[in-house]
Amino acid sequence: MQNKDLRGHVEFLQANELNSISYSFGDLSPGLRAFELTGTPSSDSSLLLNGSPLWRFQEDVIFRSDIEILILNGDLVINSATLCRGDYIFIKAGEKVIDFRTHNGFELLWMSNGPNDWIIGDMASKACIASINSINAIEMPWMPSPSYEGRPAEEADPALGVKILRQDPETTAYTLMTRQQPGWVDRRLEAHDTWEELFLLQGDYLMGTTGIINGGAYIFRPPTRPHGPQATHKGAVWFCRGEKEIDFQYSNIDWAQDQVDEYFSFMSKQESEMIAPWGDWWGE
């Protein structure tokens, strides 16, 4: 992973408020509708991609960088493997995709760990075919949080659940999901040595001085950036990534209690349902 400095700090972005852009994958334009969350075509980047029913890419293709995909809605066929809502995959840079299409259309998170280039032609024909090993993030069971530097497992709030989708054995880069039960709260500021990327799949959340955010919120934070206090009224499910195993550095702030109290008071007067733009990710 590289060029994270080109992303900057994104703290309050709602995916449903983005405008579609014409996004070029290298010299290739496959006709997808792209909504840019962060990054540039020449650096690491994250996109919200939409594909129409019966969209198909007819050439063999390889990706210059590692790619992570989470299916939010619809279906995507890659190398004869049909991915559905909740499926997560990791495609290694340089591996070939020979079957790339959809039946019913799709909406997905597309995360490129490097330049977002697609390569076709002779170079693609000589590459090894990618093995598609999907994990359905919705069907996975929630587990208690493991131990991390600065937050041992026994200190993790039992109202916090975790699903580990991927962790690189060498770099310790991680992709996971978290779930905070209704009423969960942490009044401290926290910071991490890794950058972190967060996508709120459903729920409501107090995010420090940013205030209240809802399902569809996207965040990219550079390393060591403090954030908090944090809380959720009706519960929250997050999709999360980082370049190395996360650590926790905590500090206290004198206005945290007032911020949390006002948040719960405000939310208790709202009658809206949990905001879940892509359906239920809560699970059992």
Distance CA 213, CA 211 (A): 7
- From the candidate CATH numbers 2.60.120.10, 1.25.40.10, 3.40.605.10, 1.10.287.3510, the one assigned to the domain spanning 143-268: 2.60.120.10
pLDDT, tens digit, 9 for 90 and up, residues 198-243: 999 999 999 999 999 999 999 999 999 999 999 999 999 999 999 9
Annotated domain spans of the chain: 15-136, 143-268
Quick one: pLDDT at residue 6? Answer: 63
pLDDT of residue 126 exceeding 90 = no
pLDDT of residue 139 exceeding 60 = yes
Q: Is 7 in contact with 242 (CB distance < 8 Å)?
A: no
Position of tokens 């403090």? 226
Beta bridge partners of 143: 162
Distance CA 32, CA 21 (A): 10
Query: 220 exposed, middle or buried (CB, 10 Å; 0-12, 13-18, 19+)?
Result: buried
pTM exceeds 0.85, yes or no: yes
Whether 15-136 and 143-268 share one fold: the answer is yes
Query: Of 167, 166, 190, which Cα lies nearest the Cα of 247?
Result: 190
Beta bridge partners of 185: 231
Over range 91-101, report the average pLDDT: 93
Tokens of 143: 């587990």
Quick one: pLDDT at residue 3? Answer: 46
CATH topology of domain 15-136: Jelly Rolls (2.60.120)
pLDDT of residue 282 exceeding 60 = yes
pLDDT, tens digit, 9 for 90 and up, residues 160-186: 999 999 999 999 999 999 999 999 999
Mean residue pLDDT across the chain: 91
- What is the three-class DSSP state of 16? helix
Tokens of 26: 């290298």
Quick one: pLDDT at residue 258? Answer: 97
Distance CA 61, CA 123 (A): 9
- What is the three-class DSSP state of 90? strand
Q: How far is CA 86 from CA 82, 83, 92, 241, in A?
A: 12, 8, 20, 16
pLDDT of residue 42 exceeding 80 = no
Quick one: pLDDT at residue 96? Answer: 92
